[in-house]
Structure 1
């Protein structure tokens, strides 16, 4: 496994240029874009090849049914939330969910955050109109600003450099927290000493934490070396949407001569950019990272097989993940043929459920929201399909936050439509709050234990 820092290469992966590229910003000034991408090409990588290789090994275990993937974080990160408190609370809820899954299901959990790079978003429409005024749609802080003004909504290439800087700051803190003692398994109670401790999900978690304490005491009495409990493996991921940014941060590993996207450990292609003849699929086919593709209810098995041929021609376990986002109403109908055809082809794919995106609707107040009940039902349907086919439901991909927001309705804290306006803070799509995320983790743990 390579441990050397990748060397800079000006254009290691450029075959995508000139191909149709969906959902790209309309940069107003080419010289500013050239200056920004030039700065990025001269910048150190955010991640290195050996870390990406390690994640690919961990995802191979998931594909074989030996582990489970927990992937979660913000719908869209914002520059003004790059703070110690915000980053720590996101990590905390992922650690809590992983503890629930690992202990209750007796299965290793691969932990991947939607963090340190999730600053760009695809949009269903290129513009937004308010009170007769039409402006470009908000595409994430890495492209333009959320305020509805002409200045904020104009895409600015300098934001790409700010995205890199914000990602670097976030990664630095995550590495410190996950290796410096904060993620120590002996601190399972400390992770719960805030609002969630008084919630039904928090109380359930506290009971499990007590069981873990007793297990750790037993291990200590038996002389088991506790050093591995003081740190965790934690990886980062984001949608590889803005190709100018990803290409500028692509590096060739000096040991292997292979190109890696060094903006994050795992990148995924979205439902709106998975065109087989498009620039995103072409770019992703050239990088060595583990990669993923989101698949909605319109995907066909033939398209999925063609994506495998393009993105994973060597059929390497851990290379390719399919993130399923079909909705609670369609997952039981649409998923079986897809899984069956892919399995029959001999490809060993990591199957992951995204129960968020296809279950979004507008509340009476106008807020975009999701019902936790629908989220849980899609996960349940995902597991039912895999159980019937004898395949492994490899993981969940969830938009969540460690804060006490009111963006999704339902859950053990019983958030209603009337509550949405009290703490609706998302820059784009609604996220599960900490209590709702634990509700989900306990349900998934029960389904894993049933297997």
Structure 2
């Protein structure tokens, strides 16, 4: 069990990717207010997710984790949340029914308001300003006022997260996620999209299966609601520390800003503040591993973050790139497995496959995303280990941010609906294309 001693020990260590807050007194005031606000999630829910991730680590389930690259405060609306949840549910249906595997549904939402950046500043037309680090930190508009980090945004992030999580819970438990809705989720989509048409065929098969089960007796309660969990990269440590509470049942600390939190590729320094902070909380946690990760680093992360080898505690999220996954991933999986670590492995096929189109738009090609997922499955098949899930950036809207797909977007289309605040996301059709491909890969491996 992780240690609860000194929850502020991370403050003595270098903390990467933290904002340069101009007014520390204002930050301290905001953090004090955050400490007094109610939890966004409960410790028992975090434990439930940990148990489900333990099943993933044993090879008995599959993770579908996804949502926005970076949420925005303006995006915390019923329509936006419903559309994201609808896309996630459709993907989960494809995976559950076509791959015959239980799916753990984790949203990349209700807290994903901060992003690491490769450069601290941005230059436009000779003007240099701080980089946009997500709505939790500063504004997207390219002005000195908007780009100045503002601690009050931490409070807005909390309240936007509460709104989003409340909506997600209502949709997941209030009838919207009922399996009898599989056609309704697709009504606005089937005629215009090859992926929608393919999904509709699967929905008809599910209808027939449900009719058979109804004839046999009462339907299980699981057919009418879904268990849905929240997650985000716990990047801004002052925010996540302020939302860490001692659980009254166990006396142990949980980061109650989300059910699961993860450490990014840019902040996984073994002697850094993020690893130290994560070592103190009880949540299920993830770590992004890029192509430069060594087996020794991975094993040390296991030792630091899950010293008792608790099942479901630690998930490694590989983000290698399509051209590197088959070379970089095998040794990591092999060495960690040989060390006896109970780890769930999931694939982020997005972040290693970004490029700049001639128009200047940052984009990804769906073919590269699919190829990295295929490589991920190939590695696990060769080693006899379990490909435990995917971690993607998507939206429920019909954006044009990534190229390719069954209803193909070309580079000339990118400007039509390029709406992301940071990285390019798969649209709904591309997300379903990916889900069908993952189901095929999973079936062939099992």
TM-score between the two structures when normalised by the length of structure 2? 0.98
Partner residue in 2 for 1:256: 250
Match of 2:77 among 60, 79, 83: 83
CA contact (8 A) 1:196 1:434 kept: no
User: How many corresponding residue pairs?
Assistant: 442
1:147-185 CA-partner distances (Å, limit 9, x unpaired):
000000000000000000000000111111101100001
SS at match of 2:104: strand
Distance 1:150 1:139 in 2: 14
Match of residue 378, structure 1, among 359, 362, 372: 372
- 1:38 maps to 32
Deviation at 1:35, TM superposition (A): 1.2
Q: Deviations over 1:243-290 (max 9, x none)?
A: 000000000001100000000000000000000000000000000000
What is the Cα deviation at residue 196 of structure 1?
Answer: 4.7
1:202 aligns with 2:196: yes
Q: Is the 8 A contact 1:197 1:206 kept in 2?
A: no
Tell me the CA shift for residue 317 of structure 1. 1.2
1:316 aligns with 2:310: yes
Q: Shift in Å at residue 348 of structure 1?
A: 1.6
1:138 to 132, 153, 158: 132
Distance in 2, Cα, partners of 1:47 & 1:128: 35
Q: Which residue number corresponds to residue 6 of structure 1?
A: none
Look up the match of 1:358. Answer: 352
Give CA deviations for 1:332-351 in whole Å, capped at 9, x if unaligned: 01111111000000002100
**Hey, what's the Cα distance between the residues in 1 that align with 2:75 and 2:288?**
26
Tell me how far 1:80 sits from its aligned partner.
Answer: 0.6
Structure 2 partner of 1:5: none
Q: Does the 8 A contact of 1:293 with 1:322 survive in 2? A: yes
Which one is further off, 432-441 or 197-206?
Answer: 197-206
Say if 1:63 and 1:392, in contact at 8 Å, map to a contact too. yes
1:58 pairs with one of 42, 52, 55? 52
Which whole-Å CA distance do the structure 1 matches of 2:277 and 2:321 have between them? 28
Query: Could you tell me how far 1:136 is from its partner in structure 2?
Result: 0.2
The two structures have a TM-score, normalised by structure 1, of 0.97
Q: CA deviation at 1:195?
A: 3.2
Note the residue ranges of structure 1 that are not aligned, 5 or more in a row: 1-8
Does residue 1:178 correspond to 2:172, yes or no? yes
Aligned twin of 2:41: 47
Q: Is the Cα–Cα contact under 8 Å of residues 12 and 251 in structure 1 kept in the other structure?
A: no
Q: 2: CA distance between counterparts of 1:250 and 1:55?
A: 17
Q: Could you tell me how far apart the structure 2 residues matched to 1:289 and 1:299 are?
A: 23
Question: Post-superposition shift, 1:197?
Answer: 4.2
Distance 1:203 1:254, change over 3 A: same
Matched, 1:342 2:362: no
Whether 1:164 aligns to 2:158 is yes
Check whether the contact 1:12–1:252 (CA below 8 A) recurs between aligned residues. Answer: no
What secondary structure sits across from 2:286 in the alignment? strand
SS of residue in 2 equivalent to 1:57? helix
Report whether the alignment pairs 1:411 with 2:405. Answer: yes
1:265 match: 259
- Partners of 1:444 and 1:116 lie apart in 2 by 26
SS in 2 for 1:442: helix
How far is the alpha carbon of 1:227 from its aligned partner?
2.5
Q: 8 Å contact 2:190–2:200 — kept in the other structure?
A: no
Whether 2:229 is the aligned partner of 1:240: answer no
Moved over 6 A (4+): none
Q: Which residue of 2 aligns with 1:431?
A: 425
1:12 is displaced (CA, Å) by 6.3
- Give yes or no for the alignment of 1:155 onto 2:157: no
Distance 1:227 1:439 in 2: 29
8 Å CA contact 1:403, 1:434 repeated in 2 = yes
Confirm or deny that 1:19 pairs with 2:16.
no
SS in structure 1 of the partner of residue 279 of structure 2: helix
The answer on 1:286 being equivalent to 2:268 is: no
Counterparts of 1:182 and 1:157, CA distance in 2: 36
Q: Distance in 2 between matches of 1:94 and 1:12?
A: 38
Partner of residue 3, structure 1:
none
Aligned partners of 2:64 and 2:389 also within 8 Å: yes
1:34 CA drift (Å): 1.0
Q: 1:316: Cα distance to partner? A: 1.1
The structural deviation recorded for 1:193 is 1.1
Contact 1:60 1:318 in 2 (8 A): yes
RMSD over aligned Cα atoms: 1.0
Q: Is the 8 A contact 1:177 1:183 kept in 2?
A: yes
Secondary structure, counterpart of 1:144 in structure 2: coil
